Chain A
Amino acid sequence: MNDFLGIDWFFLATSLAKTLGIIFLVVLPMVSYTVYAERRISALIQDRLGPNRTGIPFTNIHMEGLGQPIADAVKFLLKEDLTPAHVNTFYFWLAPCLAMAPSLLTLSVIPFGSWLFGVPMVIANVNIGILFVFAIASLSVYGIVLAGWSSNSKYSFLGGVRSTSQMISYELSLGLSVIPLFLLLGKLNLVDIVDYQARNGWLLLPLWGEGLTLRRWLLLIPLLISFVVFTISIFAETNRLPFDLPEAETELVAGYHTEYSSMKFALFFLGEYAAMITGSSLIVTLFLGGWHLPIPWWSSGAGFHFALVDGAAPGIPGILGGLFNIATFFGKVAVLLAFFIWVRWTLPRFRYDQLMRLGWIFFFEIALVNIFLTAGILFYLP
């Protein structure tokens, strides 16, 4: 039955379910509520309250403004969709789609849970996971460049140009910074990476399994460097402050999306936040143990140890475990998103030359040296 017409229908159905589930049940709501969180947190940081009124329409129930993202979405959909007369219409329409799509595509190879109902909680378990991520992520620059160019406005154009050079520069350190990881693991598959961390300690928290060896503790130094460089590069890749030069309001009005309105603008907006979610997911997957959460446990047999919550276990515990793992993953992502927001409302923007200097002179070199450092450690402690 599962093999009718040579197609694995079960695989197809579950994949489809996972894709739709992830996009519509998780990512889009998460994007909306990240925006909401951003507004609330920024308000709190600045001693304000932020949107705290929009609740259930026509009632006095405010729900602390939780209805705001929905209202925003409705507003974006209903607003007049304006295409200025002086733009290149085809690319002008294409750009917002290109801005949104790569972030969503990237999510397909990230394991957001262990197993549920015997299905692996990753949409596409591909061998070259991380390469796929980089390949797709670099596409997102097209959305911005096209938006900047086709808008036929100087602000947009400057934003587009800035964005291109920024992304190209930081992709370099992004790529180089994760090489130590793969020197250690010898694999590119993201599912395997998370499995390894679940069994042998997170790369940044080597507290169990193989993680207790001297080698892993020595490797913690280069991995920490990797983590810092990678995280900062993700900030730059997602155009978040302090690297938001492509849309620097004070200089460029709104950068590459100056000429956009309504839903097309919303797509850029969603794209930016989706990229944040993707970036956070990557950091979680690579360095912070993915869906895994160590539970300190004591049993008479094994003494003190960390229990592994496994979604692959049969029956109800398996289902609960699977759900728990998914929750863990998105919980970690949420914490990182909060960190993103926190940083944004703390740091001022870089000057453009500082940004380039940082990318090419510091992070690029650090990542390069870091690779040799890892290789050295691995050579002497195989």
Chain B
Amino acid sequence: MAYTVPRPKLTFREKLYLPAVAAGLAITIKHLKNMLLGRTKVVMQYPEEKWDSHMPPHYRGAPTLVRDDDRERCVACQLCEFICPPRAIKITPGEIPSASKSEKVEKFPLEFDIDMIRCIYCGLCEEVCPEQAIFLRKDYAITGLSRAEMVHNKKKLYELGGTMHGLVNKWNEKK
């Protein structure tokens, strides 16, 4: 249904427009003045100054894979691949060989690629992971010289992610 927005009735002074223009100009020049006098707090000068030490624990940097002491946490359930809005994740699942110590887990990612050109650092993969295997760590300056270099493979993801303990007890013997 069409809805007509009521237009405000303007006084003559407002209709002249010029006072408002002058007021606007005054505001902008005030900001300029304050900047010039150094009264405004400005943004950080990035490569020289860094925010790293102030980063909160929940900071959402690059997604990484973490391992437990003796096993990969990811079981290649592909939920992160499913949830990832820009489809940055690509997983090839595989079966853990019977001889392995973590045989009980049965499944692991043969390949795990995150395309960091696509990733939007939304953190949904971390949120959806039933195994607490994927975490957004604090790395934010992800650069590369080629597209291929920007695809983080499993090795790189574990390198960035490191080891975590506890949290998931499901694969321990009794449970």
Q: Which residues of A contact B (CB under 8 A)?
A: 41, 44-49, 342-343, 345-347
Contacts and interface: CB of A to CB of B under 8 A. Distances in A.
**SS class of chain B's interface: helix, strand, loop or mixed?**
helix
Contacts of B27: 346
B42 A49 contact: yes
B10 interface: no
Among B24, B27, B36, B43, residue most surrounded by chain A Cβ atoms (within 10 Å) = B24
18 contacts: A44-B32, A44-B36, A45-B29, A45-B31, A45-B35, A47-B31, A47-B34, A47-B42, A48-B42, A48-B43, A49-B42, A49-B43, A342-B25, A342-B32, A346-B21, A346-B27, A346-B28, A347-B24
Contacts of B21: 346-347
Contacts of A342: 25, 28-29, 32
A278 B115 CA distance: 50
A47 B24 contact: no
Nearest to B43: A48
Interface residues of B, number: 15
Q: Is the interface of A mostly helix, strand, loop or mixed?
A: loop
Interface in B14-38: 21, 24-25, 27-29, 31-32, 34-36
Nearest to B27: A346
Contacts of B25: 342-343, 346
Nearest to A41: B32
B92 interface: no
B37 to A, nearest CB: 11
A231 to B, nearest CB: 12
Contacts of A347: 21, 24
B50 to A, nearest CB: 16
B32 A45 contact: yes
B14 to A, nearest CB: 14
B107 to A, nearest CB: 47
A46 B25 CA distance: 13
Given A49-B43, A342-B29, A44 B35 contact: yes
B17 to A, nearest CB: 9
B24 A346 contact: yes
Given A343-B25, A346-B21, A44 B43 contact: no
B57 to A, nearest CB: 29
Contacts of A345: 28
Given A342-B29, A346-B27, 20 more contacts: A41-B32, A44-B32, A44-B36, A45-B28, A45-B31, A45-B35, A46-B31, A47-B31, A47-B42, A48-B42, A48-B43, A49-B42, A49-B45, A343-B25, A345-B28, A346-B21, A346-B24, A346-B25, A346-B28, A347-B21
